[in-house]
Amino acid sequence: MSTTPNIDAPKFKTESYEVLVVGAGGAGMRAALALTQEGHRVAMISKVFPTRSHTVAAQGGINAALGNVTSDDWSWHMYDTIKGSDYLGDQDAIEFMCQQASEIVRELDHFGVPFSRLENGKIYQRAFGGQSQNFGEQQAYRTCAAADRTGHAILHSLYQQNIRLGTTIYEEYYALDLIFDQQGEVAGLMVMNIHNGEYSILQSRHILLATGGAGQIFRNNTNASINTGDGLGMVLRAGLPLQDMEFWQFHPTGVAGKGMLISEAARGEGGVLRNALGEPFMQNYAPKVKDLASRDVVARAIATEVQQGRGCGPEGDFVLLDLTHLDTDTIKQRLPGIRDISLTFLGVDPVEQPIPTFPTCHYMMGGIPTNLNGQVVCPDSQGKQTPVKGLFAVGECACVSVHGANRLGGNSLLDILVFGRQAAKTISQQLQTEQGQPNLNNLSLDDLELSGVRKRIQRWQSKTSYQEENLHSLKQKMQRSMERGCGVFRNQQSMQHALQELEQLETSLQQVNLRDHGKVFNLERLAAYELENLMAIAKATVHSALARTESRGAHSRIDFQQRDDTHWLKHSLYFSAGDRLVYKSVNLSPNQHAPFTPKARVY
Amino acid sequence: MEFIISRYNPETDSEPYDQHYHLPDAEITADMMLLNALQKIRELDPGLSFRSSCQEGVCGSDGMNVNGQNHLSCITPLSSLSTPVKIKPLPGLPIIKDLIIDMSLFYQHYKEIDPFLQATSLNPDREHLQTPQQRSELDGSYECILCGCCSTSCPSFWWNPDQFLGPAALLAAQRFVVDSRDIMPIERLKSLDDPMKTFRCRHIQNCTAACPKGLNPSRAIQSLKARILSHD
């Protein structure tokens, strides 16, 4: 039954698809490839041309227990990942990911990824942090690499395979919000064509979010400017929770003062961190594996060296990553990308001089809660985790959780591909089961709940001028608040202060208006939508972090320095309405392997 | 520091015009990239449009013509540029707004060369073997970021943008022709054997001079032509 349409409300063009994939990074692209291959009517929506997605910047590699260099086993990889996660990772999900890894990598080779090679022709694998053989013994060589451009190689190959199959891609379209029907079921997506500012509705009963991370909430980060957590914002606005948002990875070796990533591969190939005294200080923090400890451990060690006055440079605010003892050919062949970055942004050739580095925000361990099949889950009235029909999430925007409180290097590219493929399989199966049922698409606009997104669109059309603030300065203030309040080390006071600042900034964001009202490539309008998402994510982060009174993985509190398994071996779920937090248990029951019980984490 | 930026808004302008901007010296630091200056200008004038994403030269979003040469703004040091810095969109393709061009034709040419590996069927238990020597054949071509700096610096592309594939697409073609895992190299060469698609290249080598990643599309095209001729 239709009601009288509101004559003032803008009309929206609509199109309908069996599946929508939001985001064209590695996760979205792997999923779209599988769905197109199965013959489904799928559209991938991306706010940038696909190969501009941030997977392109991943450097070091992708983990799989191929055993090409040292003997290896998926269960060793599983153990390392669980230990790396500080036991917050779900063991069933980690088991699944590690089991799938070898096939996923061979598939990539088949898709054309130009992996570096060993003399015997097999895929090159390098040492990376937190990886061992035989459950904590010698260093494992598990990270499959295409020089130090593995993300670029994978993203381009996946795009190429999508070209081969003719996947439908909406390039430079921005996804604003999920649309539900009047019964509350997933029904589509509101998108804006960036080229002409026109809004339209893409209808679908299956939506896969693969929108990536949100490192832009911090001032210094390795992330692209597009990493604004759009999918997370959509999910919060839909009344669904975000999981484990207190856990952000600070990569130990960002370019000091700037943030660009210097891959862990630099240490995997033999690089050593040194303080102002020239000491290889990691031996004091991780006596056994030294520079190849987990990232949270190395980031804290660097921050501690600097805090205790052993930092380098006139301000004493960084440490040095020393590769000068490495063979020049190793640097040129295995690390050409980071050599470029160092030369371009610092004028330093790592062949001759060490690279100034400092921890920088790199990765979001938390995200949209999902199950192993990529289905978004939410607790029902009894607290039971229940799939949200038709809604899926994979990759950095999702939290399965395979990274727990700290992600291992080389597991992110693996995560996006394993769960991108798995979510596509799930959707495909659902579509096959639904065949023959009445077509649920092609609802009329009156059947859709559009009031929220309409309000949002109209809000940014307001032309009243508000002089005190602008979007750019609000974003910078938010990033500084997060850096000061919720960085490598946190405490109650620093986070409380950040929260107050965020609340003020949020009020200002509600008042500020655009200065540019053009339709074509209005990037200020885009920045406004993005900042709404970032602000919501920053708040989710601080609320979740304030509540967790322990230190675990990347969440490191000065006022609660110990891990507290009795009270905190559980996932946080944050709802934006009332800034409410609930908790859910960590899965400690893998399907095949015996569980790994939490123990002290020493490297 | 002075900047002259080409502006064009299809909603209000009939053709592009130059706009002057000034950034006070106090705002310029020795290690700033052109992108940082553009971001500061955009703080003053939020209507100024340019694409940008990774800010470290790997995503290929921010190609633009700077003082007559094509560059990525994020890895072009301000200190390397003479003032006033004249910034225009990449030449030869339609302008959408300001520094943003319509790259459809560029992408279409890329798609025309079948830019995807065609290998023997997948064996989930074993990767295709490729020696380091065979793999090294791909060095210098797989690293392309599709920024368009090369093709839009090429006079042959300016003259025949609809028919000449341009250096980026041909570099990609070379990447698959020399990949030991690909089973279609002969078919690839045959489809490239065309006076317009490939042989329109006159070895002016602007492409190689323009490539911000230091790749050599010109040499790749020479190699393609030689392979095509030897298969004739």
Of B46, B58, B115, the CB nearest to A516: B46
State how far the Cα of A337 lies from the Cα of A126, in Å rounded to an integer. Answer: 16
H helices present in A120-229, as ranges: 150-165
Average pLDDT of span A265-284 = 97
A558 in contact with B, Cβ within 8 Å: no
Q: Hey, are the CB atoms on B96 and A520 less than 8 Å from each other?
A: yes
| For residues B155-184, average pLDDT | 98
The active-site residue out of A295, A300, A407, A525 is A295
Residue entry with tokens 């997370």: A232
pLDDT at A436: 60
Please check whether residue A306 is in contact with residue A317, taking contact to mean a CB–CB distance below 8 angstroms: yes
pLDDT at A9: 55
Percent of chain A with pLDDT over 90: 94
Helix (H) or strand (E) holding B225: helix B217-231
| Residue of A54, A103, A112 with shortest CB distance to B117 | A112
pLDDT tier at B58 (50, 70, 90 boundaries)? very high
pLDDT at B72: 98
Tokens of B138: 């791909």
Per-residue confidence (pLDDT) for residue A468, from 0 to 100: 77
- Give tens-digit pLDDT for A190-204: 999 999 999 999 999
The span from the CA of A417 to the CA of A475, in Å, is 32
The strand pairing partners of A354, in sequence order, are: none
pLDDT of residue A441: 55
pLDDT tens for residues B8-50?
999 999 999 999 999 999 999 999 999 999 999 999 999 999 9
Element (H, E) at A63: strand A62-63
**Neighboring chain A residues of B53 at a CB cutoff of 8 Å:** 48, 52, 54, 224-226
Instruction: Using the predicted structure, report yes or no on whether residue A454 has a pLDDT greater than 60.
Output: yes
CB contact under 8 A, B59 and A523: no
Count helices and strands in chain B by DSSP H and E runs: 8, 7
Check A163 against B111: CB less than 8 A apart: yes
Residues A164-200: pLDDT tens digits?
Answer: 999 999 999 999 999 999 999 999 999 999 999 999 9
| Cα B61 from chain centre | 9
A238-268 burial by CB neighbour count: b if 16+ within 10 A, else e? bebbbbbbbbbbbbbbbbbbbbbbbbbbbbb
Count Cβ atoms within 10 A of the Cβ of residue A484 and give its class: 0-12 exposed, 13-18 middle, 19 or more buried. middle
- The pLDDT value recorded for residue A444 is 80
pLDDT at A5 over 90: no
Hey, what amino acid is at A79? Answer: Y
Asked if B59 and A225 come within 8 Å (Cβ–Cβ), the reply is no
ipTM above 0.95, yes or no: yes
Confidence of residue B177 (pLDDT cuts 50, 70, 90): very high
Q: How far is B203 from chain A (nearest CA, A)?
A: 27
* pLDDT exceeds 70 at position B186: yes
Q: Which of B58, B75, B127 sits opposite A123 (nearest CB)?
A: B127
CB count in 10 Å sphere of residue A597: 9
Query: ω before A401 within 30° of 0 (cis)?
Result: yes
B31, two tokens: 């290690």
Evaluate whether A32 touches A121 at the Cβ level (below 8 Å): no
Question: Which one-letter DSSP state was computed for residue B181?
Answer: T
Mutate to test the interface with A, among B127, B143, B174, B179 (most CBs of A within 10 A): B127
Encode pLDDT of A416-436 as tens digits.
999 999 999 999 999 999 876
A195 CB within 8 Å of a chain B CB: yes
A57–B60 C-beta distance less than 8 A: no
Distance CA A304, CA A326 (A): 26
Long-range contacts of A118-122 (CB under 8 A, 24+ apart): A118/A68, A118/A69, A118/B132, A119/B131, A119/B132, A120/B129, A121/B129, A121/B130, A121/B131, A122/A66, A122/A68, A122/B127, A122/B129
| Cβ <8 Å between A49 and B103 | yes
Confidence at residue A2, expressed as pLDDT on a 0 to 100 scale: 40
Q: What is the average pLDDT score of chain B?
A: 97
Instruction: Count the Cβ atoms, other than its own, within 10 Å of residue A45.
Output: 25
Report chain A's terminal Cα–Cα distance, integer Å: 64
Helices and strands (H and E) in chain A: how many: 15, 23
Q: Distance (Å, rounded) from C-alpha A115 to C-alpha A457? A: 45
- B46, B47, B130 ranked by CB distance to A117: nearest: B130
- Give the residue among A172, A148, A142, A161 at the shortest CA–CA distance from A56: A148
Contact B49 A523 (CB under 8 A): yes
B185 CA: distance to closest CA in chain A (Å): 14
- Residue found by looking up tokens 């984490």 in the block: A601
Cβ–Cβ under 8 Å, residues A175 and A230? yes
Angle made by CA atoms B78, B81, B82, in degrees to the nearest 5: 130
Q: How far apart are alpha carbons A234 and A240 in whole angstroms?
A: 9
Report pLDDT for A550: 98
A141-161 tens-digit pLDDT: 999 999 999 999 999 999 999
Cβ–Cβ under 8 Å, residues A253 and A321? yes
Residue of A nearest to B41 (CA): A472
The reported pLDDT for the residue numbered A3 is 43
In this structure, the number of other CB atoms found within 10 A of the CB of residue A432 comes to: 11
Give the domains, in start order, of chain A with CATH numbers: 250-361 (3.90.700.10), 449-569 (1.20.58.100)
Give the closest-approach CA distance of A548 to chain B in angstroms: 33
Contact A122 B129 (CB under 8 A): yes
The pLDDT tens digits for A393-405 are 999 999 999 999 9
Phi, psi dihedrals of residue A213, rounded to the nearest 5°: -90, -170
Q: Which chain B residue lies closest to A117 (C-alpha atoms)?
A: B132
Parallel/antiparallel/unpaired status of strands A319-322 and A173-181 = unpaired
- Asked if B56's CB is within 8 angstroms of A106's CB, the reply is no
Nearest CB to B53 within list A48, A110, A195: A48
Task: Please report residues of B whose CB lies closer than 8 A to that of A471.
Answer: 46
Average pLDDT score over residue span B141-155: 98
How far, in Å, CA of A483 to CA of B116, rounded? 42
Taking CB atoms and an 8 Å cutoff, what residues of chain B touch A518? 9, 11-12, 47, 97
Spell out the domains of chain B, with CATH numbers in brackets: 2-101 (3.10.20.30), 104-231 (1.10.1060.10)
**CA–CA dist A311, A300 (Å, integer):** 13
State both tokens at A305: 């060296």
Average pLDDT for A259-263: 93
Interacting residues of A169 by C-beta distance below 8 A, sequence separation 6+: A24, A32, A43, A44, A45, A46, A50, A162
Evaluate if residue A276 carries a pLDDT over 80.
yes
- Please provide residue B147's backbone torsions phi and psi, each rounded to the nearest 5 degrees: -80, -20
Q: Which of A48, A337, A518 sits opposite B11 (nearest CB)?
A: A518
Q: Which of A152, A160, A519 sits opposite B11 (nearest CB)?
A: A519
- Please, what is the angle between helix A471-485 and helix A523-547, to 10°? 20
Q: Nearest CA of chain A to the CA of B139: how many Å?
A: 9
Partner residue facing A106 (CB), from B57, B126, B142: B126
Contact B11 A520 (CB under 8 A): yes
A221–chain B nearest CA distance, Å: 11
Cβ separation A107–B107 shorter than 8 A: no
- Nearest-Cα distance to chain A for B78, in Å, is 12
Residues A109, B146: C-beta atoms closer than 8 Å? no
Asked if A520 lies within 8 A of B59 by C-beta distance, the reply is no
Question: Nearest CA to A268 among A347, A326, A353?
Answer: A326
Angstrom distance (rounded) from CA A155 to CA A160: 9
Pairing of strands A42-46, A19-22: parallel
Are residues B126 and A111, on separate chains, in Cβ contact within 8 Å?
no
pTM: 0.97
Above 50 in pLDDT, residue A295?
Answer: yes
Average pLDDT for residues A541-566, to the nearest whole number? 98
* pLDDT score, position B231: 80
∠B60-B73-B206 over CA atoms, to 5°? Answer: 75
CA distances from B150 to A150, B91, B158, B216 (A): 23, 10, 11, 10
* Gap from B3 CA to chain A (nearest CA, Å): 21
Residues 8-67 of A with CB under 8 A from B: 48-49, 51-54, 56-57, 66
At residue A464, the pLDDT reads: 78
Q: Are strands A173-181 and A448-449 parallel, antiparallel or unpaired?
A: antiparallel
- E strands in A351-476: 355-364, 368-369, 375-379, 385-393, 398-399, 448-449
Is residue A295 flagged as an active site residue?
yes
Higher pLDDT, A441 or A299: A299
Per residue in A87-102, pLDDT tens? 999 999 999 999 999 9
Q: Quick check: A206 contacting B, CB < 8 Å?
A: no
CB contacts of A37 in chain B (<8 Å) are none
Helix (H, G, I), strand (E, B) or coil at A173: strand
Q: Which of residues 236-265 of A touch B (CB under 8 A)?
A: 260-261
Q: Name the pLDDT band for A439 (thresholds 50, 70, 90).
A: low
- Per the CB < 8 Å rule, is A521 touching B114? no
Yes or no, beta carbons of A341 and B98 under 8 Å apart? no
Question: Which member of B117, B125, B129 has the closest CB to residue A121?
Answer: B129
Alpha-helix runs per DSSP H in A62-212: 74-84, 91-111, 150-165
List the structure tokens of B75. Answer: 């890895």
Burial of B76 (0-12, 13-18, 19+ CB in 10 A): buried
Q: Kindly state the tokens that stand for A546.
A: 């304030």
Structure tokens at B78: 């301000």
Residues in B closer than 8 angstroms to A160, CB to CB, are 115-117
Q: Which residues of B touch A224 (CB under 8 A)?
A: 53-55, 59
Report helix, strand and coil shares of chain A as percent, to nearest 5. Answer: 35, 20, 40
